[in-house]
Amino acid sequence: MVLSRGAAEVPPMPPHLQLEVTSACNLRCRMCLVRYRPPVNKIEGAMSPELFRRILDALPGLRRLTLQGLGEPLLHPHLIPMLTEAKRHGIEAGFNTNATLLTARRSAELVGLGVDWVHVSLDGATAGTYEAIREGGRFDAVADNLRGLWQAKRAAGTRLPWTRVVFVAMRRNLGELPDVVRLLAGWGVDELRVQNLAHTFEDADGGYAEIRAFTEAESLWNGEDRSRAAEVFAETETVAAEHGVHLRLPGLEERPARRRPGEPGCSWPWEAAYVTSEGVVQPCCMVMGDDRITLGDLRSQSLEEIWAGEPYREFRRRLTGDDPPEVCRGCALYRGTF
């Protein structure tokens, strides 16, 4: 995407929005900031229905809505009404989940609503590996719930919600990736999306030391780990082709830093926005932590004011230049390895 200087600073209001409907979670995953912060209960962590409606009203041209942030969306007591409201507005809507709370009743509700997609996190082919990464989760329960969603779709005669499994690749689980494909072949999943760890947190202060250390210990971006990952990815592609599983793999090489004049290193601040459960506006979902960067606050500003405000303008200017914002420099999406 190549943007003129003027367009780069104040684009049209975003067609895609990601809302952190809750900051509460029932798991303590090793690669997630939730693990390294004080626990939040599901009442205080929930986005208010009033804020949700105000955001939707401010974006009549919204086409796609992702109800996902640091927390588990199925903990929100009003998730189904929120999805219903989005669908009533003609918006494509879905969310990411750890699937521990994706009961048969909830799956039937999602299918009945016509929710467009559900992305499920599954980072291992065995209980030992999965449960060591997603602390508090039970592998067998997630497997049962994934199959239950497929059964609900079959019973209703629909392909929605489109279902993706997301596997975060790291040293400790890489070897199980081909077996994950073999499992999913019988679970009615539409796609397996493999991701690298999202961020190095190299820009962050001491409060991020633990998650930064975990990322450094587990990432596949360097030397022998990258070579091993390439071998496993090649095997996984073969297994996926044999079993008819649609597979998306991440890059293992950073993309060239050189770009055409005016071309941003990332399209997020032109096409989408991220809002925390409290109404803080951030550039994207990869930031993790509203103490790292804030572009505005819906408790005191309108979304339109924030979108056209100087913090957003400056953020976009830096992304089109050679001095990107500090929070972007360690981001796997910005570096082309996500």
Condensed to tens digits (0 to 9), the pLDDT of residues 185-209 reads 999 999 999 999 876 676 666 677 8
Would you state the pLDDT for residue 138? 98
The DSSP output letter for 257 is: S
All structural domains of the chain:
12-96+269-318 (3.20.20.70), 98-250 (3.80.30)
184 in Cβ contact with 246 (< 8 Å): no
Q: How would you class 43 by CB atoms within 10 Å of its CB: exposed for 0-12, middle for 13-18, buried for 19 or more?
A: exposed
Condensed to tens digits (0 to 9), the pLDDT of residues 206-236 reads 677 888 888 889 988 777 888 999 999 999 9
Residue ranges, the chain, pLDDT below 50: 1-7
189 in Cβ contact with 164 (< 8 Å): yes
Angle at 241 between CA 235 and CA 243, to 5 degrees: 105
List strand residue ranges (DSSP E) for 80-209, in order.
92-97, 117-121, 134-135, 162-168, 191-195
Angle at 77 between CA 54 and CA 51, to 5 degrees: 15
Cα–Cα distance for residue pair 35/212, rounded to 1 Å:
12
Would you state the pLDDT for residue 6? 41
Would you state the pLDDT for residue 221? 74
Tokens read off for 13:
């209001």
Would you state the pLDDT for residue 2? 44
Q: Coil, strand, or helix at residue 292?
A: coil
Amino acid at 224: E
